[in-house]
Amino acid sequence: MALNTQAPQTASPSINEEPKGLILIVDDTPHNLQILSTALTKQGYQVRGAANGSMALIGARNIMPDLILLDIKMPEMDGYTVCEKLKAEAETQEIPVIFISALDDALDKVKAFDVGGVDYITKPFQLAEILARVDNQLTIGRLQKAQRLQNEQLQKEIRNRIAAETQIQALNADLEQRVIQRTERLNQEIAQREQAQKLLKYMAMHDPLTDLPNRTLFLNHLEEALQQLQQTPDHSFSLLFLDCDRFKAINDALGHLVGDQFLVAIGQRLQTCVGDQMLARLGGDEFTILLQNTPNKTVATSVAETIQQSLLRPFDINGNEFFISASIGIVISHSSYKQPADMLRDADTAMYRAKALGKARHVVFNTSMHEDVQNSLQLETDLRRAIDRQEFILNYQPIVALDTGLIRGFEALVRWISPDLGFVSPGQFIPLAEDTGLIIPLGEWVLREACRQLRTWQTENLTDIPLTMSVNLSVKQFSQPNLIETIDQILAETQLSAHCLKLEITESAIMENSESAAKILDQLRARHIHLSIDDFGTGYSSLSYLNRFPVNTLKVDRSFVSRLDSDEPNIAIVQAIVTLAQTMGMDVVAEGIETTEQQLQLKSLGCEYGQGYLFCKPVNAEAASEILTRKNHSFG
């Protein structure tokens, strides 16, 4: 039993006309099928027929009609059941069903609508009614379909829009995220840059070793303090300029590493003394302190005393104990100071005065020091000119053997005869020459002149005794890298034998240059040049270097000799020096012998040589020549 799709029942619309719709007619009465089919075909519909419920279900699924005319009363499966099944399937549930039935009962109609029918036609039917209702339903269906399509389109558009919006939102969120990340990165970079700038600024203002403020920062603060002083004249402050005593010797002896550790420890010690007042490291072993609110100088000097007291305690560096003292210059604020550099300069001057007065003390600046500085500046200018104008001469003081009174040699002592200042003592100008470096050309001249003079005496055959010439060498000269070269050159020039030359250096020259000293002294020994330690007993009195260095002579300082007559302990000291020299194979020369008692005393203590006014004051070359021409030229 197949779906009836034969031509007689399904007359097609003319070729030109578009079919109005596909209609499935379900009726178990062939006659009804025929009538309906013909009528609908004529109207331009495409028609398919089904004679029972099962065929209707199959036909509906296969051909998907636009409308179904469904008879209710059929054997096996009635129209309601067919309709229910059609509505239960997704594919077919949208197909409109018009029931056709002979039953003219309101309840049936209700049931027909209940199971999903859209209309109801009662048999015997009027064809016109059927056509009208079919047409009506198809129109409704088309409208609904169009509506559905429209809705679908709308929904699609909405979905698209929502999708687009979601995408935009996602893009926005991504963009925002990126902006946040970029801002964070930028902020980070800015923070890093700021941090770096801060660090650079800090480094520019602080000393890397001690982490204390440096000169620049200190001068800035000093400038601020001076400005405040201009605005509020009641404001008062002080500047302390501190320089460690003999720090160079520590550095040279122990090396820069220990020297640096020592400076750090000194900085910390000073900080505890001054609390939150400003402490800076100016450079090297120099520190400065800015004390606020110091209405009188007592406040500043008591801080200086506290510092000096605290420095008396030993410093522990790597388990070793070290000691240091400091010289402090103090300046009290005054409205006449306009520039920080001026105040610093005066504190420096006061500090130098503290050094000159014997170190390890403090001195408050006063204006007379300024004059002293100016005088010394004038003296420096004069001294410079004196070297150019050759205003120096040498005096010679005989060194004699204490037992025979015979001359063994001379000590050359420089004299400045200034046309403006008259006689200027070496005690006055030698320290200045050392400070200014003028000692280098002056010392070279002295050495050359002394060697030349001795060589002259030798060639004139004034004596048959092998004389020596002692020449003083300052600390500065001793640290000159070309010292040996200069000596070689002078000896070559003057033709003097090296063993006739004795160089006098002080203990500090060795101690302050201990690194280079050993090398220089070895080179001197290789040339048979003698070496004397001048003013022995007044300096470091560290005997350890005597072991290490090739020293020939100890010169006992005049301060011991002058007190020999009265002072018991002095005798013991001189005795000790003589014994020390003898055990180490060195000579002893006593300086500044003025009395016969001193001479006898020294002789009895075993001292072999001496010099002093008792025998002869330092005399010029002419007078020295006369002494040499004297018969046996002794001072017995």
Q: What is the contact surface with Mg ion in residues (CB under 5 A)?
A: 472, 504, 534-535, 591
Q: Enumerate residues 470-489 that contact ligand C2E by CB under 6 A.
A: 472, 474
With b meaning 16 or more CB within 10 Å and e meaning fewer, what string describes 405-438?
Answer: bbbbbbbbbbbbebeebeebeeeebbebbbebeb
Q: By CB under 6 A, is residue 53 in contact with ligand C2E?
A: no
Q: Which does 346 bind (CB under 5 to 8 A by kind): Mg ion, ligand C2E, none?
A: none
Residue whose tokens read 């072991």: 547
Collapsed DSSP state (helix, strand, coil) of residue 327: strand
The window from 66-74, 193-201, 211-219, 609-617 that contacts ligand C2E (CB under 6 A) reads 609-617
Q: Is the peptide bond before 124 cis (omega within 30 degrees of 0)?
A: yes
What is the amino acid identity at position 238?
Answer: S
Does residue 430 belong to the site contacting ligand C2E (CB under 6 A)? yes
Task: Indicate which of ligand C2E, Mg ion, none lies near residue 611 (CB less than 5 to 8 Å, by partner kind).
Answer: ligand C2E
- Quick one: 45 or 545, whose CB is closer to Mg ion? 545
Among 336, 425, 566, 596, interactor with ligand C2E by CB under 6 A: 425
The b-or-e profile of 191-221 (16+ CB within 10 A means b, else e) is: eeeeeeeeeeeeeeebbeebebbbbebbbeb
Q: Which helix (H) or strand (E) holds 279?
A: strand 278-283
- Under 8 Å between Cβ of 609 and 408: yes
Q: CA nearest 393: which of 50, 113, 126, 624? A: 624
Q: Find the shortest distance in angstroms from Cβ 465 to ligand C2E.
A: 21
Our CB check for ligand C2E shows the closer of 37 and 506 to be 506
* 612 binds, options Mg ion, ligand C2E, none, Cβ within 5 to 8 A by partner type: ligand C2E
425 interacts with, out of ligand C2E, Mg ion, none, CB within 5 to 8 A per kind: ligand C2E
619 alpha carbon, distance to own chain's centre: 61
Q: How far apart are CA 489 and CA 226, in angstroms?
A: 55
Determine, following the binding rule CB under 6 A, whether residue 571 of this chain makes contact with ligand C2E: no
| Binding residue for ligand C2E, selected from 324, 611, 621, 624, defined by CB under 6 A | 611
Dihedrals phi, psi of 8, to nearest 5 degrees: -60, -35
Q: Would strands 278-283 and 286-292 be described as parallel, antiparallel, or unpaired?
A: antiparallel
- H/E element holding 249? helix 247-254
Residue 557 Cβ vs ligand C2E, minimum distance, rounded to whole Å: 7
Q: Which stretch binds ligand C2E (CB under 6 A): 49-57, 165-173, 244-252, 425-433?
A: 425-433
C-alpha 45/C-alpha 37 separation (Å) is 9
Least distance in angstroms from the C-beta of 373 to ligand C2E: 22
Task: State in angstroms the smallest separation of the CB of 616 from ligand C2E.
Answer: 9
Residue 20 dihedral angles phi and psi, to the nearest 5°: -75, -20
Query: Measured between alpha carbons, how far is residue 141 from residues 144, 147, 340, 358, 567 in Å?
Result: 5, 9, 105, 125, 146
Comparing C-alpha atoms, which of 279, 284, 263 is closest to residue 210? 263
Q: Is 318 in the site for ligand C2E (CB under 6 A)?
A: no
Identity at 369, one-letter amino acid code: M
Q: How far is the CB of 505 from ligand C2E (least distance, A)?
A: 9
- Residue 426 site contact among Mg ion, ligand C2E, none (CB < 5 to 8 Å, cut-off depends on kind): ligand C2E
Task: Kindly tell me which residue out of 233, 427, 569, 585 binds ligand C2E, with binding defined by CB under 6 A.
Answer: 427
Nearest distance, CB of residue 465 and Mg ion, angstroms:
21
Residue 233 or 427 with smaller CB distance to ligand C2E: 427
Question: Of residues 279, 413, 571, 627, which one binds ligand C2E by CB under 6 A?
Answer: 413
Looking only at residues 612 through 631 of this chain, which bind ligand C2E when binding is defined by CB under 6 A?
612-613, 618
Q: What residues numbered 348-407 form the site for ligand C2E, per CB under 6 A? A: 397
Given 443, 455, 588, 601, the residue binding ligand C2E (CB under 6 A): 443
> Of ligand C2E, Mg ion, none, which one does residue 613 interact with (CB within 5 to 8 Å by kind)?
ligand C2E
Q: How far apart are CA 49 and CA 25, in angstroms?
A: 5
Q: Which listed option, Mg ion, ligand C2E, none, makes contact with residue 113 (CB within 5 to 8 Å by class)? A: none
Radius of gyration of the chain (CA): 62
Residue 285 partner contact from ligand C2E, Mg ion, none using kind-dependent CB cut-offs of 5 to 8 Å: none
Rounded-to-integer distance, Cα 69 and Cα 40, Å: 11
> Which two tokens mark 290?
């800015």
Among 71, 252, 285, 534, binds ligand C2E (CB under 6 A): 534
Instruction: Choose the binding region for ligand C2E from 217-225, 426-434, 511-519, 572-580 (rule: CB under 6 A).
Output: 426-434
Q: Which is nearer to ligand C2E, 261 or 595 (CB)?
A: 595
Q: Which does 414 bind (CB under 5 to 8 A by kind): ligand C2E, Mg ion, none?
A: ligand C2E
Q: For 486-604, list the strands marked E by DSSP.
A: 501-506, 530-536, 553-556, 587-590
Interacting residue with ligand C2E among 116, 405, 426, 606 (CB under 6 A): 426
Of 414, 490, 574, 605, which lies in the binding site for ligand C2E, with binding defined by CB under 6 A?
414
User: Contact with ligand C2E (CB under 6 A): which of 51, 270, 328, 446?
Assistant: 446
Q: Give the range of 27-35, 92-100, 423-431, 621-629 binding ligand C2E by CB under 6 A.
A: 423-431
CA distance 314 to 188: 48
Residues in 496-525 that interact with ligand C2E by CB under 6 A: 504
Q: Is 2 helix (H, G, I), strand (E, B) or coil?
A: coil
Three-class SS state of 221: helix
Number of residue whose CB is nearest ligand C2E = 612
Stretch that binds ligand C2E, among 135-143, 174-182, 492-500, 605-613 (CB under 6 A): 605-613
Cα-Cα-Cα-Cα dihedral sign, residues 341, 343, 346, 350 = negative
- Cβ contact 286:328 at 8 Å: no
DSSP assignment of 383-423: HHHHHHHT-EEEEEEEEEETTT-BEEEEEEEEEEEETTTEE
For ligand C2E, the binding residues (CB under 6 A) are 397, 413-414, 425-427, 430, 443, 446, 472, 474, 504, 534-535, 558, 591-594, 611-613, 618
